[in-house]
């Protein structure tokens, strides 16, 4: 792969993203942090303490400072098809993570290398007929007790649809319904796959956010994640 779609957005990615989500009243860091905090909370409930984390489609490495905050024992590998995004990420985060190029098919690590994998808003940029094979490739590099977290925009939320429809780097995005993503994760061989809906209240209604923990079943959140166990 030579030049890929996100190479041209790498330098401006944060600024474009911040402008696109301004209706939420939150920053890109807010969205990056809640994901890693959720992963840390799920792993703590399962008594799992990851030492190697894969951020699949990491872009410019938004997750890196939040792994350091919420899962400090985990060494993070940021993987992406966009060399330019990886260069920007490496310049921002230095030795806090490893930045590795991916050819779009074979993750360049041995079987069982990672304890946890995150894919944050990546799969809607990948043709749907490639999802199951890529999820199986992520499963290959996970340890037998490893867990996968796939965060995605929820196409059932009207504000999410508006944000995606007005975002330059989402021009070719094809959103995925949560039940479809859960099915693909299971078809890729994961033993379990559960959906949790997230992000119901904008910054202006942040006092209501404690309620969100009891709303993860409600398919109206702006985003969702599928959490899966390899075995």
Ligand X SMILES: C[S@@+](CC[C@H](N)C(=O)[O-])C[C@H]1O[C@@H](n2cnc3c(N)ncnc32)[C@H](O)[C@@H]1O
Residues of this chain that interact with ligand X (CB under 6 A) are 4, 6, 56-59, 62, 80-82, 85, 102, 104, 120-122, 125-126
Output 104 or 158, the one with its CB closest to ligand X: 104
Q: What CA–CA distance (Å, rounded) separates 36 from 42?
A: 10
Look up residue 74 and give its two tokens.
Answer: 């985990």
**Bridge partner list, 118:** 55, 149
Output 29 or 111, the one with its CB closest to ligand X: 29
Least Cα distance to 130 among 95, 196, 169, 174 occurs for 174
Question: Is the distance from CB of 188 to CB of 139 less than 8 angstroms?
Answer: yes
Minimum CB–partner distance for residue 123 and ligand X (Å): 8
Minimum CB–partner distance for residue 207 and ligand X (Å): 26
Minimum CB–partner distance for residue 162 and ligand X (Å): 16
Q: What CA–CA distance (Å, rounded) separates 172 from 164?
A: 10
Q: Which residue minimizes CB distance to ligand X?
A: 59
Q: What CA–CA distance (Å, rounded) separates 93 from 210?
A: 31
Minimum CB–partner distance for residue 28 and ligand X (Å): 7
Minimum CB–partner distance for residue 111 and ligand X (Å): 19
Q: What CA–CA distance (Å, rounded) separates 220 from 135?
A: 25
Least Cα distance to 136 among 93, 183, 184 occurs for 184
Output 88 or 195, the one with its CB closest to ligand X: 88
Q: What CA–CA distance (Å, rounded) separates 125 from 172?
A: 7
């Amino acid at each position: 792969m030579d030049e890929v779609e996100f190479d041209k957005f790498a330098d401006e990615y944060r600024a474009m993203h911040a402008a696109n989500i301004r209706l939420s009243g939150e920053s890109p860091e807010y969205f990056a942090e809640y994901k890693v905090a959720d992963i840390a909370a799920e792993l703590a409930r399962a008594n799992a303490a990851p030492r190697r984390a894969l951020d699949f489609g990491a872009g410019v490495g938004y997750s890196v400072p939040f792994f350091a905050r919420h899962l400090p024992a985990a060494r993070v590998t940021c993987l992406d098809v966009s060399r330019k995004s990886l260069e920007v990420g490496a310049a921002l985060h230095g030795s806090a993570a490893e930045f590795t190029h991916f050819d779009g098919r074979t993750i360049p690590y041995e079987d069982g290398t990672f304890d946890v994998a995150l894919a944050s808003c990546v799969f809607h940029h990948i043709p749907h007929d490639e999802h199951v094979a890529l999820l199986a490739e992520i499963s290959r590099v996970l340890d037998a007790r490893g867990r996968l977290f796939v965060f995605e925009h929820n196409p059932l939320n009207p504000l999410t649809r508006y944000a995606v429809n007005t975002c330059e780097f989402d021009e070719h995005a094809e959103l995925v319904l949560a039940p479809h993503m859960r099915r693909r994760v299971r078809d890729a061989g994961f033993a379990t796959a559960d959906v949790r809906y997230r992000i119901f209240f904008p910054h202006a209604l942040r006092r209501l956010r404690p309620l969100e923990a009891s709303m993860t079943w409600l398919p109206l959140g702006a985003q969702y994640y599928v959490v899966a166990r390899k075995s």
